[in-house]
Structure 1
Amino acid sequence: MLFKKPKEDNAILTEKNENQNQSKVEKKAFYERPRVCAIDLLEKNIEKLKKHKFNCFIGTLGSLVEVPNSERDNAHLCLPNFLIPENIHEYDIVIINLQNQRTRHYNKENHERKHFKGYRKITLVSTYPETLFDPRAFSAAILRNSLSSFMKKESILIVFADEQETITYYPIAITSDRHEHLSSEDYSIYDFYDDMPGNRNLTGKDTVVLNPESELGSLLARHNNDTTYSITFNHPIHWENNTRVKDKNFLPLMCTGLDQIISFARIREKNITFFFPYIQNKDQFLVDLFDKVLPGICPKLFPHNTQFLWKSSPEYRLPNENELINKKKTIEEDYNKKINEIKAKIDANRQEYGYLHDLLTQSGDLLVKAIEKYLVWLGFDNVINMDEINPRLKEEDLRVETKKGLLVIEIKGIGGTSTDSECSQVSKFKYRRAKERDNFDVFGLYLVNHERYLPPNERANPPFNANQIQDAKNDERGLLTTYELFKLYFNIIKGFVTKEDAILSLFQHGLVEFNLSKAVFIAKPLEIHYNGFVAILQIKDIEIHTGMPIIIKDNGYFRYAKIEDIQTNGKSIQSINEGEIGIRLSERVNSKVEFWKKLRFDHSQDID
């Protein structure tokens, strides 16, 4: 579409705008819900709804404009001048009356934007011989986008149908030095509704209500004598088991004397849409529809409906109801108490372990503090935050005194990945500390929270290129991400890695990796089959057997699985220590995993 929704000149308003001139007394004169957006209803229809305390916004698809194109060269710029609330997705009911074709005389001031951004303005033009500009189809197409969210929630759309009409619009682009005619665009007055059934224009007054015993059918029957129609609809059909069947979610309500549908209800997800023909006494029809019919169909949208509310009074309660209500109240109180207890525990847990999330989100001092707390948990006794000791000194962020020597750590939280100079900056601090100590027992570690605005598993992992890793090896310093520390925490808790081994890994050169404690590498899968439950491996000098627990390394996390079967040359075997084999696992895997074997496996581990 060539036009975006205008902000002001086409008077798209929010509910707040619509009520801004009402007094406080008037604002309290209606129920907040349901919120009703009434598009092109007559004023008397809306006043009737407001008298019954319904909260109504008055909208329009735009009036028809009598354009003075009386001569061959006449042309006039036209704006659709529709009125649709920007927050229409927050409304509960939308009414669209296509039967109200109000007209007004052309006024140039109403078709000029007072404010405009940019160098190229696009507008519509009406030229001879057109004398009646109809904006409704164009506005309907814009309304369709606005209604998309509304149609997905529990809501009601009501349409008073008129004959189908497709209108051609002629846009032009205007710049400072010229104007350019753009391709014409065709829209239908029903373009606001993306589930439109097949239809044809047909006018008549002989109508039949299909289910007059129902609440809605009874209401339609009361207005049937004054009902006329100008369009009929086909019952949608789809294929089911190679058979054409009628859509069960499409419910005809009225038809012509020849069984052609003129009114229907259609259910889609949580929305229900009603199409009605021309009903003369619309205001009373709508009041009865809102008061007596719709609350029974969508009770949640009518929280203030008082029909039969007396039944809940104590004097009218049914046998056993008081006892059941009291039990319900007791259960609810107990439930709320337990929920509040769990919420308090969740809050306390987040307070205790929030530093783990800080590893993945923070930068600056907050990131340094989170890593400091993590290292203390890991088992380091002497972690020194240099910024707290001397904030003006631009040196390493953390110093850790260990039996192995001094570990200096440079920490960064960044939105992207690290440059070569950022990776190597810790070398400068490492050599300074070595000179101060007159000893080369100093180790350097660059620790980064990279691409911190992305979910960790969507980041570049690892974020270091081959040259940066090789340079780190050459300079005898380490490279590590906070995401690896985060994963390490859970691998330690589950017993796959000991804290002692994790500490030793921090002194590695190049890319720091935390491998399994007391485990040996088996193989990487050559192929994966049967939806991930069968892997083809090439093993050498390592024995595996059926029923044996095996460790899977998957994206830095470790987990257990059980070998349920081993096959070679199409035959099941109990054990093997060399060759190409297939193993069936109790857990699904992908082609990027690694398989490890635990030494002195602890059989208390739960791998089921």
Structure 2
Amino acid sequence: MWKRDTDKEKPSKKETPKYQKPKILLIDLPDTALDGVLSVGFNASAGTFGSPYKVKLSDDYTPVVYKSDLPNYTEQEIIIIDLTPSETLDSPEGEKMTSKGEKDWWAKCSRGEIDPRPRVMNMVHNAFDRILWHGGLFVIFAQPRLRQDMVWGEISYGNFKIGSKINADNWSFLSNLHPEYFEIKSDFGEEISVPNYDSQLLRFFRETARNARYTATFNPRYEKKNWIPILSNKFERCVGGLIVPEDSKGRVLILPQISKKPEAIVTLLREVLPDISPHLFSHIEGSRWVERDEYELDSVLKYKAEKIEVQQRAKRELEELDKKILGERDKLVFLHGIITKTDTDLVESVKACLEFIGFKQVIDVDKQILEQDTKAPKQEDLQVHDKSPTLLIEIKGISGLPHESDTIQVVKYVPRRMKEWNRFDVHGVSIINHQRNVPALERDNQNIFTGQQVEDAKHHDITILTTWDLFLLIRGMMKWGWDPKTIQELFYKSGRMPRLPAIYKPIGEIVNYWEKPSVVGVQISENKLHKGERIGYVTPEGYLEEEALSLQFENRDVEEVFPGQSVGIKTKYLRNLLRRGTIVCAVTKEE
């Protein structure tokens, strides 16, 4: 594998850039690349996904330890990445972020080397996807796709326990580059062909091709119209090209390895990339000097003055909207509280959420004990007395994943209350804010509770749920106008609380998506669906709803579909929202 050269000298002190926009991040490139970009006035910074490190060669698994540095990566507009790994370190630079008893990333030692970059890439890919969809530009100096044997794992009772497999690699920083959508094959050579027609990009390639080498070939698996192949090898395989996502100004330029990257990057920024993404280079004036005020027509100057008035009015309106946003956040601060807080703050936030979804008689037990000035032992955090059975709610905010003691602690409070109240209609609920220091979408939201924990919850007739699930349900209620009772009812079901409100009836899951004419493929597994019925999609980010106005089975329009059929449903949502595996439900009428 190619190793990246690293410069011995540190980059010069960063001065105020001549051009504030675009914001540029160079990842895993030589320090001289940053010096060159800064020297021509661009606003740039440098970062790294981390470095591979040596481990003892064996068939064992070891934690994936990383140390990355990606300054202000969420707000960058151009991100230039060299996928060539740096020299392998003798040991990892960072430290394991959790105890060995918590579920974490582990990798097999069968290669004698661990590359932590996929873990970091997986952490930032949502932010990078957002940058791309909002018109950002990615430039990638390519390397072959590297797959490691990585799993979720933990040490349990002294033994290593393997969980689910982790599908991540050294291209996992953008969803568009996922193996399911984009094929990358290892191939090596130096003969690179450039098309004959003229453009700034092709002129750049003609000048650099003789100093370039390719290490991979590329082929999109589906949306080939969004892929522009530019460079090819002698066997007519693509070794460089441009991804042009539909309905977005974002671009992904994939290049072979170039020997003089610092100089090439400066040329790209000054001469090539402004042609690819002109909206990012507002400082490039060209012949527009005639539009300066000293050359402008009087009638145009009048319109310019009116434009300034509009902008000033808009600024005032934006300031007013900002005040409303702050007010709304303050009013609903408890919603973010349930996915960030712990201890008393978390209990107060959950109590506010329960009252927000319509529970009337919610008691803070600790506060009640304090007010009554009694020395009662530790009890459940909250009680809900709205109807039978009474709910006893235990709430925990933890940095990792829940242990058995976290999920069933409420069990010991149930018989105490039954005895105290001389009744049996008491139901326990355990609410967990897991991995609370990690942004919610980056948490392990699939493997929170073990199968045994869920079975134990059913056996003890208690409900277990996460605050993230509760947050999504409440946000869905607010967005789609559900009756709060559709969420209330879920607290009385044993086992893990489903993420489906009571009005959602599962019918199947998404198995395909066709960009034109915006049709989603659904495998119907249970319950039938009629044309015109309202359907809901359960996504990692929440819930989407629409009417199923068009149903097709075997290329024929139909009025209803049944279990066992694979059908097409016309949709208004984009592919990045309706991913494979998304649960599809019929939205039933509220009683």
TM-score by length of 2: 0.50
For the 8 Å contact 2:532–2:547, the answer to whether it is kept is no
Instruction: Please say which structure displays the higher CA radius of gyration.
Output: 1
Cα deviation, residue 534, structure 1 = 4.0
Q: For residue 144 of structure 1, what is the amino acid of its counterpart?
A: T
Equivalent residue number for residue 533 of structure 1: 519
Contact 2:17 2:42 in 1 (8 A): no
Q: Deviations over 1:119-155 (max 9, x none)?
A: xxxxxxxxxxxxxxxxxxxxxx975154276379637
State the match for 2:399 in structure 1: 415
CA distance in 2, matches of 1:394, 1:579: 52
For the residues of structure 2 that align with 1:322 and 1:538, how far apart are their CA atoms? 61
Aligned-pair CA distance for 1:477: 1.2
Cα distance change, pair 146–410 in 1 and its aligned pair in 2 (3 A) = same
- The Cα of 1:407 is off from its aligned counterpart by 1.4
Which of 379, 382, 386 aligns to 2:361? It is 382
Q: Give the C-alpha shift of residue 575 in structure 1.
A: 3.5
* Cα-to-partner distance string for 1:175-208 (whole Å, 9 max, x where unaligned): xxxxxxxxxxxxxxxxxxxxxxxxxxxxxxxxxx
The match for 2:348 among 359, 362, 369 is: 369
Aligned to 2:42: 154
Shift of 1:455: 2.3
1:427 maps to: 411
Residues 97-246 of structure 1: matches in 2 within 5 Å? 143-144=31-32, 146-147=34-35, 150=38, 154=42, 241-243=195-197
> Given that residues 89 and 149 in structure 1 are in contact (C-alpha distance below 8 angstroms), is that contact kept between their aligned partners in structure 2?
no
Equivalent residues of 2:36, 2:266 under 8 A apart: no
Structure 1: distance between partners of 2:472 and 2:367: 28
Aligned to 2:333: 354
Q: CA deviation at 1:563?
A: 4.5
Retained in 2: the 8 A contact 1:554–1:592? no
Which amino acid is 2:472 matched to?
A: K
Counterparts in 2 of 1:154 and 1:513: CA distance versus 1, 3 Å: same
C-alpha change, 1:566 and 1:151, in structure 2 (3 Å) is farther
The match for 2:586 is 597
Q: Tell me: CA distance 1:2–1:385, structure 2 relative to 1, closer, same or farther (3 Å).
A: same
AA of the residue aligned to 2:506: F
In the TM superposition, residue 418 of structure 1 has moved relative to its aligned partner by: 0.7
Q: CA separation in 1, counterparts of 2:297 and 2:520?
A: 61
Tell me how far apart the structure 1 counterparts of residues 431 and 41 of structure 2 sit (CA, whole Å). Answer: 46
Matching of residues 70-81 of structure 1 within 5 Å: none
Aligned to 1:24: none
Answer whether contact 2:528 2:561 (CA < 8 A) is retained: yes
CA-atom RMSD in angstroms: 4.5
Change in CA separation of 1:575 and 1:390 when aligned onto 2, cut-off 3 Å? closer
Q: Is the 8 A contact 1:154 1:271 kept in 2?
A: no
Equivalence for 2:568: 583
Deviation at 1:585, TM superposition (A): 2.5
TM-score normalised by L of structure 1: 0.49
Structure 1 stretches lacking a partner, 5+ long: 7-11, 13-83, 94-140, 157-237, 253-263, 274-297, 302-310, 603-608
Per-residue CA distance 1:1-53 (angstroms, 9 max, x = gap): 898868xxxxx8xxxxxxxxxxxxxxxxxxxxxxxxxxxxxxxxxxxxxxxxx
| Alignment match of 2:316 (pick from 334, 337, 353) | 337
Instruction: Answer yes or no: is 1:498 the counterpart of 2:483.
Output: yes
Aligned length: 352
- Secondary structure, counterpart of 1:421 in structure 2: helix
Map Cα deviations across residues 275-306 of structure 1 (whole Å, 9 max, x no partner).
Answer: xxxxxxxxxxxxxxxxxxxxxxx9979xxxxx
Quick one: distance in 1 between partners of 2:364 and 2:580?
42
Q: Secondary structure at the match of 2:569?
A: strand
Is this contact kept in 2: 1:518–1:599, CA < 8 A? yes
Q: State the Cα distance separating 1:92 from its structure 2 match.
A: 4.4
Contact 1:497 1:515 (8 Å CA) reproduced: no
Structure 2 gaps, min length 5: 20-28, 45-191, 208-262, 273-280, 285-291
Indicate which of 437, 441, 449 corresponds to 1:464: 449
Alignment partner of 1:489 is 2:377: no
Tell me the SS of whatever aligns to 1:402.
Answer: coil
Match of 2:553 among 567, 573, 592: 567
Considering fraction of residues, name the structure with more strand. 1
Deviation of 1:441 (Å): 1.9
Say if 1:428 and 1:330 are closer, same or farther in 2 by CA, change over 3 A.
Answer: same
SS in 1 for 2:550: strand
Instruction: State the alpha-carbon separation in 1 of the partners of residues 500 and 42 from structure 2.
Output: 52
Percentage identity across aligned positions? 22
The SS at the match of 2:465 is strand
